[in-house]
RNA sequence: GUGGCCGUAGCUCAUCGGGUAGAGCACCGGAUUGUGGCUCCGGAGGUGGGGGGUUCGAGACCCCUCGGCCACCCCA
């Protein structure tokens, strides 16, 4: 219909939705601050190589979902599909890894996928990453931090925690071989997608949605049996810490993550209230990634939250939006002299009441229509200037929310009057 | 990339292949020379996503295309 549209999957976030975003962002920011995390701001574009080397060459993200283009000098660049790779790159580049680092960032990510509920091509994440801590106490901290966030947002009852350990790279390699052997012998019983995954990413077959495939997996080798001792011990310790903190979770032995860099602890917060895209927050450990990207071997762990999905959850669960949209004062006037007076008074009132929302009617229109706009603005009070008021040096103050009563107030008295009226 | 459903006013939707495409909400004006909300009256707003075909005649039927939603894949 309209000729110019936004790019598919890249949505405008409208004024009626932004209060949810602002409230969510404010809560997240304060929480991370309180846990001692520092914000890092990262570029949206990186060398394509960064993502190929971190996420994995054969993942769907790298193979078919990246927005990749040549810069003017012929270098291949990519709109970031996720934040961890950039954060690791930045930490290495800026020498942040000499001491443990607790970092977070927020911003848009880009993946070329078919949009659906809870998924778009430009979406927003808040990512949290910790470098230099190998022990599972930090795993627990991240999980407890996220759990606290759900409580603060009022959605704790709508999300559940799933947990798994996928072990060391070596353990996973051995398990992958065993799984491939088992499934190859039963290739015909696999669904089409899983047959393909047998070549590309066999572990992903574990969380296939196909019931027949899931049934087939019941007798398959179990990842847990292949874990190395350290991964086992750390996973047990993590569970002990969560138990002690009273944090419920479900160990899901079939939880694997799509990105190559994960090892040991992986976790997801999921909800059943968002349709097919139930993962609201997910992450895990990536002890080899820093070294893989050219830094000194440094353990890492992190997670990312999908802001669109959280906003959906907040609105679907009817969680309040604390940012008040209604105006406090709406100023109207009739005639040029009154308009001049109202404009000057508006500025003076903004000096006195910087915390209040003061809307000055602009664009003319009949008095009636101005009053209608005043009502629609949601303002508590309308301040009215006409010829009489200007001549008398007064202002008519009308209560739009109560009985509609109106008082005439001398210009000099206006601040005191409004201070009482707005209290 | 695959599949299902759907594109009519700013929004939500009606309209059996037959006259000038309607309603509610929103918007503008009036009833009320300077007073919103409730009510009443009036007004403006549409290349029916786009293109082609069938037909005397298409918003409706057929084909193509673009777009939206949901699901698969994948993922936050």
Domain ranges of chain A: 18-167+227-316, 329-421
**CA A4, C1' B46: Å apart?**
19
Say yes or no: Cβ of A291 under 7 A from any atom of strand B. no
From the list A227, A205, A231, the residue with the least C-alpha distance to A218 is: A205
Question: What is residue A324's predicted lDDT score, i.e. its pLDDT?
Answer: 64
A286 annotated as ligand-binding = no
> How far is residue A59's CA from residue A81's CA, in Å, rounded to a whole number?
12
Between the CA of A329 and the C1' of B31, what is the distance in angstroms?
A: 29
User: Who among residues 99-128 of A has its Cβ near strand B, under 7 Å?
Assistant: 111, 113-120, 123, 125
A213 touches strand B (CB under 7 A): no
- The pTM assigned to this predicted structure is 0.91
Whether the CB of A374 is less than 7 Å away from nucleic strand B comes out as yes
CATH of A329-421, one of 3.20.20.70, 3.40.50.800, 3.40.50.720, 3.40.50.11610: 3.40.50.800
A371 CB inside 7 Å of strand B = yes
Q: Could you give the C-alpha distances from A241 to A29, A93, A172, A174, in angstroms and in order? A: 25, 34, 25, 29
Is A370 labelled as part of a ligand binding site? Answer: no
A256 nearest nt, CA–C1': B75
Please tell me the predicted confidence (pLDDT) of residue A2: 44
pLDDT of residue A190: 86
Q: A353, A355, A350, A359: which is closest to A327 by C-alpha?
A: A359
**Chain A 330..369 CB hits on strand B (< 7 A):** 334, 365-369
pLDDT of res. A187: 86
CA–C1' gap, A132 and B5, in angstroms = 50
Q: Which residue's CA shows the smallest distance to C1' of B8?
A: A1
Any strand B atom closer than 7 Å to A281 CB: yes
pLDDT beneath 70, residues of chain A: 1-3, 320-324
- Within 7 A of a protein CB, which nucleotides of strand B? 1-3, 7-9, 26-30, 32, 34-37, 47, 49, 67-76
Which fold does the domain A18-167+227-316 belong to in CATH? BirA Bifunctional Protein; domain 2 (3.30.930)
Chain A window 127-186: residues with CB closer than 7 Å to nucleic chain B are: none
A59 nearest nucleotide via C1' and CA: B74
Does nucleic acid strand B have an atom less than 7 angstroms from the CB of A258?
A: yes
Residue A2 assigned as binding residue: no
Give yes or no for CB of A14 within 7 Å of strand B. no
pLDDT of residue A373: 92
Which distant-in-sequence residues (6+ apart) come within 8 Å of A18 by Cβ? none
* Beta pairing class for A263-270 and A250-251: unpaired
């Amino acid at each position: 219909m309209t000729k110019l549209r936004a790019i598919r999957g890249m949505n405008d976030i409208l004024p009626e939705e932004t209060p949810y975003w602002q409230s969510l962002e404010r809560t997240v920011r304060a929480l991370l601050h309180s846990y001692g995390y520092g914000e890092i701001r990262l570029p949206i574009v990186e060398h394509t190589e960064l993502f190929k080397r971190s996420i994995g060459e054969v993942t769907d993200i790298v193979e078919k979902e990246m927005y990749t283009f040549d810069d003017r000098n012929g270098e291949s660049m990519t709109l970031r599909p996720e934040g961890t790779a950039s954060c690791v790159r930045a930490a290495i580049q800026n020498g942040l890894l000499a001491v443990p680092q607790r970092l977070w960032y927020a911003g848009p990510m880009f993946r070329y996928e078919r949009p659906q509920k809870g998924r778009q091509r430009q979406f927003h994440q808040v990512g949290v990453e910790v470098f230099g801590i190998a022990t599972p106490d930090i795993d627990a901290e991240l999980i407890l931090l996220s759990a606290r966030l759900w409580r603060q947002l009022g959605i704790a009852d709508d999300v559940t925690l799933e947990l798994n350990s996928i072990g060391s790279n070596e353990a996973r390699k051995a398990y992958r071989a065993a799984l491939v052997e088992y499934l190859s012998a039963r290739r015909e019983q696999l669904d089409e997608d899983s047959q393909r995954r047998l070549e590309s990413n066999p572990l992903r077959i574990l969380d296939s949605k196909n019931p027949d495939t899931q049934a087939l997996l019941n007798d398959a080798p179990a990842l847990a049996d292949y874990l190395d001792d350290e991964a086992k011990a750390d996973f047990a310790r993590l569970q002990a810490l969560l138990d002690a903190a009273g944090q419920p979770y479900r160990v899901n032995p079939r939880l694997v993550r799509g990105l190559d860099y994960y090892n040991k602890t992986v976790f997801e917060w999921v909800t059943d209230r968002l349709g097919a895209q139930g993962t609201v927050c997910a992450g895990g450990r990536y002890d080899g990634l820093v070294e893989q990207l050219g830094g000194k071997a440094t353990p890492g762990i992190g997670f990312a939250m999908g802001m669109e999905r959280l906003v959906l959850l907040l609105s679907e669960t009817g969680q309040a939006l604390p940012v008040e949209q209604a105006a406090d004062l709406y100023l109207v006037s009739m005639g040029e002299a009154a308009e001049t007076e109202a404009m000057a008074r508006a500025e003076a009132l903004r000096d006195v009441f910087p915390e209040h929302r003061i809307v000055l009617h602009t664009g003319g229109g009949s008095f009636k229509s101005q009053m209608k706009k005043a009502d629609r603005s949601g303002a508590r009070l309308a301040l009215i200037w006409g010829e009489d008021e200007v001549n008398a040096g007064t202002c008519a103050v009308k209560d739009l929310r109560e009985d509609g009563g109106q008082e005439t107030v001398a210009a000099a008295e206006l601040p005191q009057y409004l201070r009482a009226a707005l209290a």
